[in-house]
Structure 1
Amino acid sequence: MNNPMTDYRALVRVDSAELSQSLRSSAPPKFVGQWIFALLDIAFTDYYPVNQAPDINLTVRLRFSSELLKFVEEELDASDQLIVTRAYIKIARKAVEDGADVIPSSLQVDAVMARTLRCFRLTRAQALEIAGVERNRYLDALAAGLEGEEFDHAVRVDGGSDLQPIMVLLPEVRWFQGKISDRGIAGELGEWLDIYSDLTLGSVVAELLDLRLRRRQEDA
Structure 2
Amino acid sequence: MKQIRLWLIIIFIAVSSSIVNSLLKSELQAFEVGKFEFGKYDNFDEALAKGLTYDMNKLIYTTQHGGVTIVMYTTIPDCIEFQDVMEFQDDIEFQNEMEALVVQFFEGNDEEGWEVLGPAGWTHYENDNLTVYDTFLRDYDDSGNVKYAFDVTFGEVNNPKIDTVETKSHHDTMFTEATMIQKGLGRYYFHIGVGAIVRGISVNGEIIDQQGS
| TM above 0.5 | no
Q: Which has the larger radius of gyration?
A: 2
- Relative contact order higher in (CA < 8 Å, ≥ 6 apart): 1
Report which of the two has the higher share of strand.
Answer: 2
Report which of the two has the higher share of helix.
Answer: 1
TM-score (norm 2): 0.25
